[in-house]
A = this chain, B = another copy of it.
């Protein structure tokens, strides 16, 4: 049997993937790995590469493909493409189907978010049911750079700049995260492997595409030819700092927190106000999350307001946070508490006609006047 020599492009790519796998301890011998394959270049290369390395790594593969029910014939052909590829490689293939449009309207998400949620749910369930200990997904160095840049332009701190994690929950792994997209495509071409292009990319993700096709090439040309690698380094650095600040804050929060009642968190105000703001703000976010269940709509300004409240020392003062949470200073303690949902009869005001009636609880004021029937204006149409 004559073995063809492995092209240099292929060797370089696979050695790079092996380095990433080792550096982040992504795979152990004996692992069954579920590989997420859309049929695009990145995930096709991921499947092919892990398949070629499988014996050496001592792993077994299953490929999974989710049909999002969005792009008609084209999506059917993607599924057929992945099915045939798996057949040829001798890799077990699992196909799933989701109704992303329904999911999006049910959960009030945009299509892209809903598709991602559906995909990860499908992958986690499939992995669990098949006993796969790892789920491999095809994010590349370009995805990492794009994500860090977008977050930076939005003003994210360490958490956001941490970007795409190489390993998540010791379950999801991203073996291509240190490979540039150009290398991925050269790898496939060298192995005479085709892939599917997603024609809806440009509609679904306008901003991401502008970043990909305009901003990053522009930055590479005029500011930093190694912008992809620089962004990846920034992400690694941010992950490290976020990890450290997170662990200090969690320890501090646990040490300061009083009581164990659900929906109430009590923290001593003076020690809280004395913390370094980098930690104090994070401690408060942990407290708010415990009371509210999430941090949606909570900004740095809210944490700052609570720190000022603690510093003021005025017992009885309180601050309202979004999501029906009140923070009150009581005898040297900051008490965070969920408000009881506004039952009818919680407050009542008389509205004189004509006259005005302010409702401080709601932050609004009603005014009433008498008009003649003929002068009633058409109600503005708010139905849309």
B243–A276 CB distance below 8 A: yes
Question: Is A293 an interface residue when CB atoms closer than 8 A count as contact?
Answer: no
**Contacting residues of chain A (224-250) with chain B, CB-CB under 8 angstroms:** 224, 227, 230-231, 233-234, 237, 240-241, 243-245, 247
Question: Is A207 an interface residue when CB atoms closer than 8 A count as contact?
Answer: yes
B223–A207 CB distance below 8 A: yes
Can you give 9 A-B contacts (C-beta < 8 A)? Answer: A153-B230, A155-B234, A158-B241, A210-B223, A240-B277, A241-B245, A243-B278, A244-B277, A244-B279
Given the complex, which residues of B lie within 8 Å of A322, measured CB to CB? none
Given the complex, which residues of B lie within 8 Å of A234, measured CB to CB? 152, 155, 157
Q: Mark A260-287, 1 if CB is under 8 A from B, else 0.
A: 0000000000000000111100000000
Question: Is A368 an interface residue when CB atoms closer than 8 A count as contact?
Answer: no
Q: Which of A155, A158, A240 has the most CB of B within 10 A?
A: A155
- Chain B proximity of A251: nearest CB distance (Å): 12
B155–A219 CB distance below 8 A: no
Given the complex, which residues of B lie within 8 Å of A277, measured CB to CB? 240, 244
Question: Is A222 an interface residue when CB atoms closer than 8 A count as contact?
Answer: yes
Given the complex, which residues of B lie within 8 Å of A245, measured CB to CB? 241, 244
Identify the closest chain B residue to A245 (Cβ): B241
Partner of A241, one of B222, B227, B233, B241: B241
- Whole-angstrom CA separation of A218 from B240 in the bound complex: 31
Question: Is A348 an interface residue when CB atoms closer than 8 A count as contact?
Answer: no
A233–B155 CB distance below 8 A: yes
Partner of A154, one of B218, B224, B278, B300: B224
Identify the closest chain B residue to A231 (Cβ): B155
B153–A223 CB distance below 8 A: yes
Given the complex, which residues of B lie within 8 Å of A211, measured CB to CB? 223
B155–A230 CB distance below 8 A: yes
- What would 10 more interface pairs be, CB under 8 Å, given A154-B224, A210-B222, A244-B279? A152-B234, A153-B219, A153-B223, A157-B234, A157-B241, A207-B223, A215-B222, A237-B300, A241-B245, A243-B276
A237–B153 CB distance below 8 A: no
B276–A244 CB distance below 8 A: yes
Q: Which of A153, A207, A234 has the most CB of B within 10 A?
A: A153
B278–A241 CB distance below 8 A: yes
- Chain B proximity of A13: nearest CB distance (Å): 24
Identify the closest chain B residue to A222 (Cβ): B210
Identify the closest chain B residue to A232 (Cβ): B155
- Chain B proximity of A217: nearest CB distance (Å): 13
- Whole-angstrom CA separation of A207 from B221 in the bound complex: 12
- Whole-angstrom CA separation of A305 from B128 in the bound complex: 40
- Chain B proximity of A245: nearest CB distance (Å): 7
B230–A154 CB distance below 8 A: yes
- Whole-angstrom CA separation of A157 from B235 in the bound complex: 10
- Whole-angstrom CA separation of A278 from B236 in the bound complex: 11
- Whole-angstrom CA separation of A277 from B237 in the bound complex: 10
